[in-house]
Each structure stands twice: as C-alpha cells, then as structure tokens.
Amino acid sequence: MSAWLLGLWIGLAHADESRAAPLEVVMVEELDRAWQVLLNEASPPHYASVAVEDRWRTNINATDGVVASSQQQRERALDVDLRVGTPGLDSTHALRGLSAMEDDERDRLAAPLDEGWALRQAVWQQLDQAFRQGRERLIMLHANQSVKAEEEDPAPDFEPRTKVIDRREVPVLVVDATAWEPLLAELSARLGTGARTEQGSASLAVSRVVKTFVDTEGTRLVHGGTLARVSLTANAKADDGDEIQVFRAVDVHDPASLPNRSALLALADEVVVELERQRTAPRGDPYSGPVMLRGRAAAVFFHEVMGHRVEGHRQKSDDEGKTFADSIGKSVLPSWLTIVDDPTVAAMAGEDLNGFYAYDDEGVAAAAASVVEGGIFTGFLMSRSPITGFEHSNGHGRRMAGRWPRARMANTIVSNTRPIAVADMRKQLLGIVRQQNLPYGYIVDEIDGGFTLTGRVMPNAFNVRANATWRVYADGRPDERVRGIDLVGTPFAAFANLVAAGDDPSVFNGACGAESGWVPVSGVSPSILFSRLEFQLKEKGEELPPLLPKPTPPALEGTR
C-alpha cells in the first residue's frame, strides 16, 4: 500500500465521530470496511465518497377548481462515487472517440429508510459495483490513450483536499395541507375564468433536503436546505394554433414567507390578463436590431449565454467549443459589468435565491466564483476536476441524485457600476432604432428558459425563449405585444453589442438541467440593452382552439 493511500485510510479511520448520527456511522463503517479491502487490489481506487440524500416533500396540485393530488412523502437516495487509478489519471477520465460510453448510466438509487442492515447492504453493493466498473473502465482508458493524440488540456482528473467536518441542523418544515388545498383549488378556478382559458392550475411544492456526505479523506458533512414554491399556470390556444402558456411562481426558503391569499389571487388575475394579451397578440417576424431585456429576462439570458460556457469541466473536453478558454485577462463585456456566481448568498433584491447552499456535492464549501470583473474575464466555475490554470474547486461541483457531480451554476449575479434609469434605457433604445432606420425595436419582459450549444460539431449558439415581448415603435405608436419569436445568436457577437445596463436588479429562480441532472439555480441581473440582437420564429402550433363553447365556471353562473 502506498504511503499516500495509507494516509487517506488513516484519515478515514480517525475522524471525529463524537457527534455522528446513526446514518453517518453506518456510512463511515461500510466505507471503511470496503476501503481496507480495495486498497489491496491490483488496481486500487484513490478516492471514494458515499452520499445519502434524505428528502421530505409536500406536493399539492389543483386544476380547474379541484384538488387533483395532495401528497406528503419521504424518500432517500444513495450515491457512491469511486475513482480507480490516481488523481492524475483515473476511471472518470473521458474516453475519446467512444462518446456512447460517456453517458452517466446511473439512475437515482432509492435507499432504505433505516440505519441498519438494509442500508449497509445497499452501500456494500454500490461500493462493490463502483469498483468493478471503475477498474474495467481504467483498462479501457489506458488502451484509449495509447492510440489517441495528445489531449489539449493535460490537467489531472481530481483535486485531493483536506478533510472538513461540519454537521448542520436543517429546519423541519410543517405544511398545513388542509389550509393550502382549498386555496389552491380557488386559485386554479380563478385562472380558468378567462373566456378562452383552456386550463388553469395551481400547485404548492415544498421540500426539505438533508445531505449526509462521507469520504476517504475524512470529510464528514451533514447539511441541506428547504425550498417552497407556489406556482400558477394558465393555457390557451391562439386562433392560428399557437399554444399559449403563462406561468408565474414565487420561491422562498420558508413556506411561512409565501404570499397570502389576497396576493396570490391578484397574481392569478395577472396571469389571466397576460394569457389573453398573448393569445390575441400577432406573431413577430425574424428581426435583427436593438433589444432591451428587463431584469428577470436578462438574468436568464446571462445564465444561458455565458453560464454553461464557464463550467470548468467543459474546458477539458476536446469536443467542447471552449468559448472562453483563451479569454483569461481579456475583455469580454463592457467595463461596467461584473459577473460572480456565489452560492453563499441566500437572498438578493428582496427575494430568496434558489442557488443557495453551504457545501457542494463533492464535499467542498460553497464559495464565490469570479467570472467577469470590470468586463475582464477572470475564471471558471470549478468542481474537483482541475483544468490548466485552475487547480482548485470553488465549491460548484453539483448534481442531482444519481449523477456524477459536474461544475454547475448556482447564483449567477450580474452587477453594474454604470446604472441608468430604465426609462432612459427605453429612450436610448428608440434612439438606436432611429439610427438604424428601423420601424421598431423590442423590449422583452420575460424569458421562458432556453438552451445553448457549447460543442464543436453544432453551431456554438444559443436559443433563448422570449415569452412576453413588446414592439416599441420609433414613430410613437403605442407598444404592441407580439409572440412566437425567440432570441438567437452567438456569445461574442451578442456581448459586443451590449450598450447599457439599468438600475433595477431582478431575480430569476428556477432549475437548470445539464449532464449532472437538474439543480436549483438563480440569476440576478439589471435590465440590459443591446444595439443589435436577433430574433427567429418560434415553432408553431397546428391545432385550432376548441370548437365547443367553454362551460361556465360555477362562480360565474348567472352572470352572462
């Protein structure tokens, strides 16, 4: 046994267990038992971790005035991450030319809800399986490397770290389902009052997550968080067949902070008005010209256009476009913009942030990651997979249970040292429209997510799903709502046309999907103005609206 491997085992065996709960004790004992055996194998592992995620959920859904489902459940997931080889080259390394083998074939593994023999059995089986798969993959990796060209980034596969012991209490949530069920039913009925609304739904989703993490470096963590979301959705069809959906959600860390009945009913009324406004709006046209994104829309824009391209692990793959790999120390944005991804921030601009956490899923403390400072590109979001020039994790190794951790966004925060009033930004927008001799520009209030392509085979482009969009006319005509268009482009071209930012930081809360699954994220940004962005047509619906007249909701009977 090598000296450094022996040191890892000693760190494991002598960690302070004085405050360990029974769950953690089982995890440590099974990992210790397996480690003593595996270190004597011909191809030993150099690192392993065991993680258990306990999740308590309350989900209540109502549709068209009726509670459709109401569930409270507890579930537990088990993850074992084991690396065979050395930190320099281990079994997680990419197999080039064998992309079909790069998918994470694991799925969420339900674990027993006890702390006894059944859990030990599950941990034992997963450790044994992970080692067998890792050893087989390492053999394939050595063969793969012997016939392939030298890689662009020779950085090691793993960053060893010193142990951390931290056990935190996660508040227990109590949700009064009997109070929420009639309110959600009332909200869903309110959403259905629109003459052309086909369905209205309201839901409450509350979760408490407790993560227990142990590894062969001696790290022992218990941490987690709580999230609550109330969401409202209304659907309709436009006369030309387009599917129209309006969605609103409020996210908080504590369910007690959710809006009261009056505020939620007012929000439902806003959704109904917005649905009709979008349903009757004309379709937009392909366009290239000035565009202003309001705060929430701007936050989603930066998440999609820059966020995924600064995830550290992407810089190691020869299949990735590596948009910003050569941009360190270079200007990529105006000097008045700074971007940091900081999971340690719990709230900003008056709202709780979904991307808040204490430790990532590799046992590393959350930390602020500087991406752009004063317009200059400064770095990447890092997991424990180093890249050249960035050897250390900044606590952004995240995953959904059942996936390998990868560098992911958390709270992507855009700040502005040259803010201007949004009303002045509108005037500036119209000035650029006239300079370009165009009839109108665009203001985007909401972006409904999007996607971005970061590889080399497909165009390195983005598609951002504009949802609430206004034409702003140069001749002074009233603004006109339009639908059916999406923002498209490439990062450098878009950022080169960024001319102003507002004084109105706003929050987007949601979830982001990538290779390591879906994780909660937030974005914070002021409104931003581009001298030129491009819209393309959104896919079009084909089904006509219902032929039969809509039934009269009970609350409206006798009012015709």
Residue with tokens 């009970």: 554
Instruction: Name beta bridge partners: 48.
Output: 82
In degrees and rounded to multiples of 5, residue 459 shows phi and psi of -55, 135
pLDDT in tens, 442-484: 999 988 878 887 877 777 788 888 888 999 999 999 999 999 9
Give the Cα separation of 147 and 85 in Å (integer). 19
- Alpha-carbon separation of residue 168 from 165, 212, 357, 453 (angstroms): 10, 10, 12, 38
Give the Cα separation of 211 and 399 in Å (integer). 12
How buried is 296 (Cβ within 10 angstroms: 0-12 exposed, 13-18 middle, 19+ buried)?
Answer: buried
pLDDT at 33: 97
* C-beta of residue 120 within 8 angstroms of C-beta of residue 26: yes
Give the Cα separation of 50 and 116 in Å (integer). 16
Q: Which tokens sit at 66? A: 């009726």
Instruction: For the chain, give the number of residues.
Output: 560
Give the Cα separation of 202 and 234 in Å (integer). 9
Reduce the DSSP state of residue 451 to 3 states and report it. Answer: strand
* C-beta of residue 535 within 8 angstroms of C-beta of residue 471: no
Give the Cα separation of 306 and 311 in Å (integer). 9
Give the Cα separation of 192 and 98 in Å (integer). 51
User: Which amino acid, residue 497?
Assistant: N
How buried is 130 (Cβ within 10 angstroms: 0-12 exposed, 13-18 middle, 19+ buried)?
Answer: buried
Reduce the DSSP state of residue 375 to 3 states and report it. Answer: coil
Give the start-end residues of each E strand in 85-178.
Answer: 109-110, 165-167
User: Helices marked H in 44-161 — which ranges?
Assistant: 117-146
Give the Cα separation of 233 and 243 in Å (integer). 13
Domains and CATH numbers, the chain: 3-53+78-164 (no CATH), 177-282+543-550 (3.30.2290.10), 287-537 (no CATH)
* C-beta of residue 242 within 8 angstroms of C-beta of residue 235: no
Return per-residue pLDDT of the chain as tens, 560 residues.
443 343 444 444 444 555 889 999 999 999 999 999 999 999 999 999 999 999 999 999 999 999 999 999 999 999 999 999 999 999 999 888 765 455 555 678 999 999 999 999 999 999 999 999 999 999 999 988 888 888 888 899 999 999 999 999 999 988 999 999 999 999 999 999 888 899 999 999 999 999 999 999 999 999 999 999 999 999 999 999 999 999 999 999 999 999 999 999 999 999 999 999 999 999 999 999 999 999 899 999 999 999 999 999 999 887 888 889 899 999 999 999 999 999 999 999 999 999 999 999 999 999 999 999 999 999 999 999 999 999 999 999 999 999 999 999 999 999 999 999 999 999 999 999 999 999 999 999 988 878 887 877 777 788 888 888 999 999 999 999 999 999 999 999 999 999 999 999 999 999 999 989 999 999 999 999 999 999 999 888 888 888 888 887 665 444 33
Within the chain, what is the greatest distance between any pair of CA atoms?
84
Reduce the DSSP state of residue 536 to 3 states and report it. Answer: strand
Give the Cα separation of 395 and 340 in Å (integer). 13
Q: Which tokens sit at 363? A: 């046992």
Q: Show Cβ contacts of residue 445 under 8 Å, excluding neighbours closer than 6 positions.
A: 294, 296, 297, 467, 468, 469, 470
- Alpha-carbon separation of residue 253 from 17, 119, 230, 479 (angstroms): 30, 30, 12, 37
Give the Cα separation of 342 and 339 in Å (integer). 10
* C-beta of residue 463 within 8 angstroms of C-beta of residue 487: yes
Q: Show Cβ contacts of residue 39 under 8 Å, excluding neighbours closer than 6 positions.
A: 1, 5, 6, 9, 45
* C-beta of residue 292 within 8 angstroms of C-beta of residue 466: no
